[in-house]
């Protein structure tokens, strides 16, 4: 399980090992994991190295320490779902609704000035522009336009664009998403909004503009959405 000659640090190998154990169910939620001294003995490594691995998992929220009692597997990942709520699909699922979407257009074009600025790319760089109607339980919920730099997410096609972009990025490109900013404003429906969302002109709508960033602070997606105000309210928790 642990390879001391690997260039991958031992503490990191142990982190992955424990994570897998949690995901496999070998380590059960809310229950104690082996003590630091046991891990040290088990893999013939120093206790301090074990502590380094466990420290990282604690700060990632997988484990929780209790002096004198032991280290325990954290119970829920509800928090992490909140973070994942940046995607329409996950948002709807967490509300108990069934999400789907209709692809309106998929194109690759040169970024306009404003988009280039938001995505921190050059104006001559190309971007995917993906337009969709987002449905919840079969009823139109939002009109969405996504702008993604081709340079950062190559190989996106009309087919795979329908899957989870976030999953694609994390699994296929080995990048990970760290942060997103959102700007939310109210407006009223124009002719196009009214038609696609099946509401009347002048009805209230919620405009949400989201920019998502990779761990290095690089923007990889700009999404502009128009939500039906009668069906959608934005919910949000702030900590600290």
The residues of the shown chain that bind its own copies, judged by CB under 8 A, are 48, 59, 80, 83, 85-86, 178-188, 202-206, 227, 229, 232-240
Burial classification of residue 192, based on how many CB atoms lie within 10 Å of its CB (0-12 exposed, 13-18 middle, 19 or more buried): exposed
Q: Does 167 bind DNA (CB under 7 A)?
A: no
Contact pick of 24, 25, 59, 68 for DNA (by CB under 7 A): 68
Q: Minimal distance in Å, beta carbon 57 to DNA? A: 12
Burial classification of residue 17, based on how many CB atoms lie within 10 Å of its CB (0-12 exposed, 13-18 middle, 19 or more buried): middle
Distance in angstroms (rounded) separating the CA atoms of residues 59 and 42: 23
Q: Minimal distance in Å, beta carbon 178 to its own copies? A: 6
Q: Residue 94: which of 136, 154, 36, 138 has the closest Cα?
A: 136
Q: Minimal distance in Å, beta carbon 106 to its own copies? A: 27
Q: Residue 197: which of 167, 230, 170, 173 has the closest Cα?
A: 230
Stretch touching DNA by CB under 7 A, among 46-54, 104-112, 130-138, 173-181: 46-54
Contact pick of 24, 25, 59, 67 for DNA (by CB under 7 A): 67
User: Could you tell which of DNA, its own copies, none binds residue 71, using a CB distance below 5 to 8 A set by kind?
Assistant: DNA
* Binding letters toward DNA, positions 70-89, x by CB under 7 A: xx------------------
Tokens of 195: 């038609």
Sort strands 139-149 and 219-228 into parallel, antiparallel or unpaired.
antiparallel
What count of Cα atoms within 13 Å lies in the side-chain half-sphere of residue 141? Answer: 19
132 close to 102: Cβ distance less than 8 angstroms: yes
* Binding letters toward DNA, positions 95-134, x by CB under 7 A: ----------------------------------------
DSSP code for 161 = G
197 close to 189: Cβ distance less than 8 angstroms: yes
Which residue's structure tokens are 């059960």? 28
Q: Minimal distance in Å, beta carbon 54 to DNA? A: 7
Stretch touching DNA by CB under 7 A, among 17-25, 40-48, 166-174, 199-207: 40-48
Which residue's structure tokens are 């142990």? 14
**Which one, 36 or 91, has the nearer CB to DNA?**
36
**Which one, 69 or 240, has the nearer CB to its own copies?**
240
Write out the residues near DNA by the rule CB under 7 A. 4, 7, 9-12, 33, 35-38, 44-49, 51-52, 65-71
């Amino acid at each position: 399980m642990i390879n001391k000659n690997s260039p991958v640090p031992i503490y990191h190998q142990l982190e992955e090992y424990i994570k897998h154990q949690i995901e496999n169910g070998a380590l059960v939620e809310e229950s104690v994991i082996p003590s630091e001294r046991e891990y040290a003995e088990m893999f013939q490594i120093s206790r301090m190295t074990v502590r380094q691995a466990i420290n990282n998992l604690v700060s990632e929220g997988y484990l929780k320490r209790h002096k004198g009692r032991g280290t325990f597997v954290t119970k829920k990942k509800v928090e992490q779902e909140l973070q994942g709520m940046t995607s329409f699909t996950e948002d709807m699922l967490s509300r108990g609704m069934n999400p789907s979407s209709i692809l309106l257009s998929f194109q690759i074009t040169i970024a306009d000035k404003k988009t280039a600025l938001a995505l921190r790319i050059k104006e001559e760089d190309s971007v995917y522009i993906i337009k969709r109607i987002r449905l919840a339980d079969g009823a139109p919920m939002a009109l969405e336009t996504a702008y993604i730099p081709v340079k950062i997410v190559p190989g996106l096609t009309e087919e795979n664009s329908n899957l989870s972009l976030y999953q694609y990025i994390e699994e296929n490109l080995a990048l990970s998403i760290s942060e997103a900013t959102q700007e939310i404003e109210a407006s009223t429906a124009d002719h196009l909004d009214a038609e696609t969302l099946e509401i009347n002109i002048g009805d209230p709508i919620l405009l949400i503009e989201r920019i998502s960033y990779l761990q290095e602070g690089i923007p990889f997606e700009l999404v502009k959405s128009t939500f039906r105000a009668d069906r959608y309210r934005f919910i949000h928790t702030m900590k600290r």
